[in-house]
Structure 1
Amino acid sequence: MDQIFQASRQWERIQNRFITEDAAVDLTNLKSDPRNYKLSLWDPTTNGVRYLKTLTYHLGMLLSPEERERIRRTPNREIGDPITVRCEGESLCLDYLQATFEVGFIERGMDLSGARILEIGAGYGRTCHMIMSNHDISGYRIVDLKNTLELSKAYLRRALDEAQFKLIEFIPVDSLDRDALKSERFDLCINIHSMTEMSPDTVRAYLELIDETCSAFYVKNPVGKYIDQSLDGYLQGQEAVQMALENGPLRQLVDIHDSQAVQAAVPAFIDGYRPGDAWECVGDSRALPWSYLWQALYRKPPTASTR
């Protein structure tokens, strides 16, 4: 099968309308304008800043000491003017609250010291920023679409120190050489809410690449698709909804406001994101604060390892 590493129609539209070639020129208001709304999972222009801050405050007050310290060790979080609250003296935004939950989940399943990491679709780079601020890793590669890659490069150049930034290699999707990467070995691959927005063939190609080159895989994506016009009134139009429904490995409709329906979809999620038959899911759980996002960590047994 030909390997297809390319943007879906959904993301071609997003790149043309929101994350344009000029997106990385000025980071002012990055985290509170449409660039980040398309990279993240929330848009307070439709739901209200009041509700976003309420959610952020609630999560911030529930942080464990370890989760709070992970955030405190991550400097320069104010870049891009995030929408914040203050909990126990710490300025918090929803993005880095999610990042501390994500990194904490990974840490419970593996040791990140000295790890070589591959991230497929890094957004503006929040997870990379937190990992590199809390762990001494040996290298970090980010694969992404051209415009989004320029955005993460601009953000991480400001957020990290020079030595940390030099550990990152930014790889545009259109220059991704599968054969060249076959010789690479990564301790961990990360995908957070982007495989659900790729064509099914592209997802399969990435999972095969992960199977060939990685020892562990962390994924955080929806358990399925949903149709609920009450959430935003289909603000971007019916075409955008249709584009979203045709992408990802899991395209069955799920009632995301029904905990039992979400739970029933979990086995398909675990199977759908498994990189290969030999891979074992060593942990999974709901990904706070979202009702319909799930996270899982897979490991490749030593006998089947690429090492």
Structure 2
Amino acid sequence: MQSSLDGPAKYGRSAQWERINRTQITADAVSTLAGFKANEVNFKLALWDPRVNGVRYLKTLIHHLGMNLSAQNLDRLRRTANRDVGDPIAVRCQGERMCLDYLQAVFELDFIAGQLPLDGARVLEIGAGYGRTCHLLLSNADIEAYHIIDLDNSLSLARTYLGAVLTPEQLAKVTFTRIDDVDRVTAAQRFDLCLNVDSFAEMDAATVHQYLDLIDRTCRYLYVCNPVGKYLDKSLDGHAQGEETVALALRSGLLRDVIDIHDSEVVAAQSHKFLAAYRPGRDWHCLASQRAVPWSFYWQALYARAAS
């Protein structure tokens, strides 16, 4: 007996693939190999279109990092309560909700803690964002005092956020300092560790040098995590924030060489300029440095000032 599925319909296309063949994998589109792996053909055959699937790829990255967390770093994350304040884009891995911000903070803490003890430390953070690094450190070490320097609006956000996520005892250790008050507040202060995560590269070069002078006078250790250079790859974001924003970014920071940020050898070579640029003074030396996961072009380093 002949099946009702015999003929063209037996191995025919679904309604979904009928549409795909009309709109994406068309006869014209498959007539050449030129560019097909970065256009609609391969975006349907093998990849999710990165132009409209940014959140999907972000969650995939978070999942990959989260599933590969060490037991020690997973414990550090678990000890940091209230991470869902602010509704982050998150996934659930190993029984824990995770977002990229706090995963990066865990990796940074792992690097620092591998080089020096943090219990009892007095910490200075220059440019704290909303305060995720402060939150993680205060949740995982017996920090004596934590000072944050930032611009007014960012400082207001950090004060509100940390007020929501920290315990009263932890919050009492935090001092918020406006940039206009830096010299007055720090004049008689000494800090064990200074932190700068992803903000030196966005300051005027002269401002960075002023902060490095401040660190040289007041701190024993410096941790820096910043880009090793600039990039002009428009395919990454289409310069969505406008050409003026791009121009301003290219002029900021100490490291303004435009490089291929997705060439590991180029980034590694540029890291030598990074290490020289962020050394606070002649009496300082680098204890450790390496690429900062997950970004291809971020480097991290921990410097120590020679004992007097």
Provide structure 2 residue ranges, at least 5 long, that are not aligned to the other structure.
1-49
Q: 1:154 to 1:206 in 2, by over 3 A?
A: same
How many equivalent pairs are there? 259
1:175 to partner: Cα distance: 2.5
Per-residue CA shift, 1:105-152, capped at 9, x if unaligned? 110111101000000000000000000001111100000000000000
Which residue matches 2:265? 260
1:280 to partner: Cα distance: 0.8
Per-residue CA shift, 1:247-274, capped at 9, x if unaligned? 1011111110100100110110000001
Q: Kindly indicate whether the alpha-carbon contact (under 8 Å) linking 2:177 and 2:185 is maintained by their aligned counterparts in 1.
A: no
- Secondary structure at 2:208 match in 1: helix
Of residues 268, 271, 274, the one that matches 2:276 is: 271
In the TM superposition, 1:166-205 aligns within 5 A as 166-176=172-182, 178=183, 180-205=185-210
Residue type of the alignment partner of 2:199: S
1:180 to partner: Cα distance: 4.8
Following the alignment from structure 1 to structure 2, what is the Cα–Cα distance between the partners of residues 230 and 180?
Answer: 44
Residue type of the alignment partner of 2:104: Q
Q: 1:128 to 1:280 in 2, by over 3 A?
A: same
Following the alignment from structure 1 to structure 2, what is the Cα–Cα distance between the partners of residues 209 and 296?
Answer: 18
Which residue matches 1:153? 159
1:48 to partner: Cα distance: 1.4
Per-residue CA shift, 1:136-178, capped at 9, x if unaligned? 11100000000000000000001000011011000011232x2
TM superposition score normalised by structure 1: 0.83
1:276 to partner: Cα distance: 0.5
Q: Check if 1:50 corresponds to 2:60.
A: no
Of residues 66, 70, 73, the one that matches 1:67 is: 73
Q: Check if 1:286 corresponds to 2:291.
A: yes
Q: Which has the higher contact order (CA 8 A, sep 6+)?
A: 1
Q: Check if 1:80 corresponds to 2:86.
A: yes
Q: Check if 1:226 corresponds to 2:228.
A: no
Which residue matches 1:214? 219
Larger radius of gyration: 2
Following the alignment from structure 1 to structure 2, what is the Cα–Cα distance between the partners of residues 281 and 290?
Answer: 21
1:293 to partner: Cα distance: 0.3
Following the alignment from structure 1 to structure 2, what is the Cα–Cα distance between the partners of residues 296 and 281?
Answer: 7
- Secondary structure at 2:282 match in 1: coil
Per-residue CA shift, 1:228-263, capped at 9, x if unaligned? 100110001110000001010111111101001001
Q: Kindly indicate whether the alpha-carbon contact (under 8 Å) linking 1:60 and 1:87 is maintained by their aligned counterparts in 2.
A: yes
Q: 1:222 to 1:47 in 2, by over 3 A?
A: farther
Query: Structure 1 segments of 4 or more deviating over 3 A?
Result: 44-47
Following the alignment from structure 2 to structure 1, what is the Cα–Cα distance between the partners of residues 86 and 164?
Answer: 10
- Secondary structure at 2:235 match in 1: coil
Identity %: 54
In the TM superposition, 1:5-44 aligns within 5 A as none
- Secondary structure at 1:221 match in 2: strand
1:182 to partner: Cα distance: 3.2
